[in-house]
Amino acid sequence: MSNKQPLSTEPYKGVHDYYPEDWSKAQAIFNVIRTTLRKSGFEEYQASVLERAELYESKTSEEIVNQQTYTFVDRGDRKVTLRPEMTPTLARMVAGRRRELVFPLRWFSIGNRFRYERPQKGRSREFYQADVDIVGIEGAKAEGEAVVMAYEILRAFGATNKDFRIRMNSRALMNAAANALSLNTEDSASYLALIDRKDKMPVEEFESSRGTFRRNGTDPLELIEARTDESVDAVYRQFMALIDSLKARGMDNVVFDPTIVRGFLYYTGLIFEVFDTNPENPRALLGGGRYDGLVALFGDEPVPAVGFAIGIETLTDFLATHNLLPALPPPADIFIGTPSEANIANAQAVASMFREHGLNVLVNVSNKGLGDQVKEAVRRGVPYFVAIGEDETKLKKAKLKTLASSEEIEIGTDLIPAHIYKVRSDGA
Amino acid sequence: MSNKQPLSTEPYKGVHDYYPEDWSKAQAIFNVIRTTLRKSGFEEYQASVLERAELYESKTSEEIVNQQTYTFVDRGDRKVTLRPEMTPTLARMVAGRRRELVFPLRWFSIGNRFRYERPQKGRSREFYQADVDIVGIEGAKAEGEAVVMAYEILRAFGATNKDFRIRMNSRALMNAAANALSLNTEDSASYLALIDRKDKMPVEEFESSRGTFRRNGTDPLELIEARTDESVDAVYRQFMALIDSLKARGMDNVVFDPTIVRGFLYYTGLIFEVFDTNPENPRALLGGGRYDGLVALFGDEPVPAVGFAIGIETLTDFLATHNLLPALPPPADIFIGTPSEANIANAQAVASMFREHGLNVLVNVSNKGLGDQVKEAVRRGVPYFVAIGEDETKLKKAKLKTLASSEEIEIGTDLIPAHIYKVRSDGA
pLDDT at B300: 82
Mean pLDDT rounded to a whole number for chain A: 93
Q: Where are the alpha helices (DSSP H) in A119-218?
A: 139-156, 171-180, 185-197, 203-210
Q: Quick check: B46 and A24 CB within 8 A?
A: no
Domain's final residue, options B286, B321, B356? B321
Q: What is the pLDDT of residues B384-404, one digit of tens each?
A: 999 999 999 999 999 999 999
Please state the pTM of the whole predicted model: 0.94
Tens-digit pLDDT profile for residues A200-241: 899 999 999 999 999 999 999 999 999 999 999 999 999 999
| pLDDT at residue A85, as a whole number | 94
In a domain, B11, yes or no: no
Q: Report whether pLDDT(B268) > 80.
A: yes
pLDDT value of residue A57? 85
The answer to whether position A115 is within a domain reads: yes
Indicate the pLDDT class of residue A122, thresholds 50, 70 and 90.
low
- Residues B100/A379, Cβ–Cβ less than 8 Å: no
Domain-located, residue A223: yes
Closest CA to A247 of A236, A256, A235, A238: A256
Phi, psi of B234 (to 5 degrees): -65, -45
B17 vs A96: CB contact, 8 Å cut-off? yes
Q: Which chain A residues are closer than 8 Å to B365 by Cβ?
A: 104, 137, 141-142, 145
Last residue of a domain, one of B263, B297, B321: B321
> In terms of DSSP H, where are the helices of B40-126?
62-63, 87-96
The residues with which A400 forms a beta bridge, in sequence order, are A386, A409
Residues A242 and A356 grouped into a single domain: no
Kindly state whether residues A343 and A276 are assigned to the same domain. no
A2-11, A109-118, B16-25, B48-57: which range is least confident on average? A2-11
How large is the average pLDDT for residues A271-288? Answer: 94
Give yes or no for residue B122 having a pLDDT over 70: no
**Best to test chain B binding among A36, A46, A110, A354 (most B CBs inside 10 Å):** A46
What are the residues facing B276 on neighbouring strands? B164
Residue of chain A nearest B89, judged by CA positions: A11
**Which among B52, B104, B298 has CB closest to A12?**
B52
**Model confidence band, residue A121 (pLDDT cutoffs 50, 70, 90):** confident
* A2 band by pLDDT with thresholds 50, 70 and 90: very low
Same domain flag for B249 and B383: no
Reported as a pLDDT band with limits 50, 70 and 90, residue A397 is: very high
* Option in A12, A39, A49 nearest B361 (CB): A39
Please give the pLDDT value at position B121. Answer: 72
Tell me the per-residue pLDDT of B185-221, one tens digit each, with 9 for 90 and over.
Answer: 999 989 999 998 898 899 999 999 999 999 999 999 9
B148 pLDDT above the threshold of 60 = yes
Is residue B350 packed enough to be buried (19+ CB in 10 Å), middle (13-18) or exposed (0-12)?
buried
The answer to whether residue A326 sits within a structural domain is no
B136 inside domain? yes
Work out the pLDDT band at B117, boundaries 50, 70, 90. Answer: confident
Is A238 in the same domain as A374?
A: no
Q: Is A364 a domain residue?
A: yes
pLDDT tier at B265, thresholds 50, 70, 90: confident
The DSSP annotation for B271-284 comes to EEEEEESSTT--S-
CA–CA separation, A355 vs A335, rounded Å?
12
What is the domain range of residue A60? Answer: 20-321
Q: Helix crossing, B185-197 with B171-180: angle to 10°? A: 130
Task: Tell me the per-residue pLDDT of B273-322, one tens digit each, with 9 for 90 and over.
Answer: 999 999 998 889 999 999 998 899 998 889 999 999 999 999 999 999 99
- Total domains present in chain A: 2
Of B121 and B241, the one with more pLDDT: B241
Task: Identify whether residues A182 and A304 lie together within a single domain.
Answer: yes
From A20, A142, A355, residue closest to B45, measured CB to CB:
A20
- Alpha-carbon span B50 to B80, nearest angstrom: 6
Determine, yes or no, domain membership for A329.
no
Q: Which of A8, A12, A102 to mutate to test the interface with B (most CBs of B within 10 A)?
A: A12
Phi and psi of B289, rounded to 5°? 170, -175
DSSP three-state, residue A113 = strand
CB contact under 8 A, A50 and B298: no
**What digits encode the pLDDT tens for the residues B329-356?**
999 999 999 999 899 989 999 999 999 9
Q: In the structure, what pLDDT confidence band is assigned to residue B60 with cuts at 50, 70 and 90?
A: low
Of chain A, the end-to-end C-alpha distance in Å amounts to: 52
Closest CA to A276 of A314, A250, A308, A246: A314
Instruction: Write the CATH number for A418.
Output: 3.40.50.800
| Span A283-288, average pLDDT | 94
Instruction: Give the CATH number, domain containing residue A193.
Output: 3.30.930.10
Determine which helix (DSSP H) or strand (DSSP E) holds B210, and give its type and residue range: helix B203-210
Is residue B30 domain-shared with residue B119, that is, in the same domain? yes
Q: Kindly tell me if the per-residue pLDDT of B417 is higher than 80.
A: yes
Write A177-180 long-range contacts (CB < 8 A, 24+). Answer: A177/A220, A177/A221, A177/A223, A177/A224, A177/A229, A177/A232, A178/A220, A179/A231, A180/A223, A180/A229, A180/A231, A180/A232
A164 lies in the same domain as A311: yes
| pLDDT at position B428 | 62
Calculate the CA A283 to chain-centre distance.
Answer: 14
Q: Give me the residue from A67, A73, A293 closest to B1, CB to CB.
A: A293
B52-77 mean pLDDT: 84
Is there a single domain that holds both residue A93 and residue A143? yes
pLDDT at A3 (0 to 100): 46
- For range A365-371, the mean pLDDT: 92
A307 and A350 share one domain: no
Mean pLDDT of B29-42: 98
- Does a structural domain hold residue B8? no
Instruction: Label the pairing between strands A334-337 and A164-170.
Output: unpaired
* A241 and A265 inside one domain: yes
User: Are B297 and B360 contained in the same domain?
Assistant: no
| pLDDT computed for residue B1 by the predictor | 44
% of chain A at pLDDT higher than 70:
98
> For B224-261, what is each residue's pLDDT tens digit?
999 999 999 999 999 999 999 999 999 999 999 999 98
Among residues B321, B354, B383, which one ends one of the domains? B321
Same domain flag for B32 and B95: yes
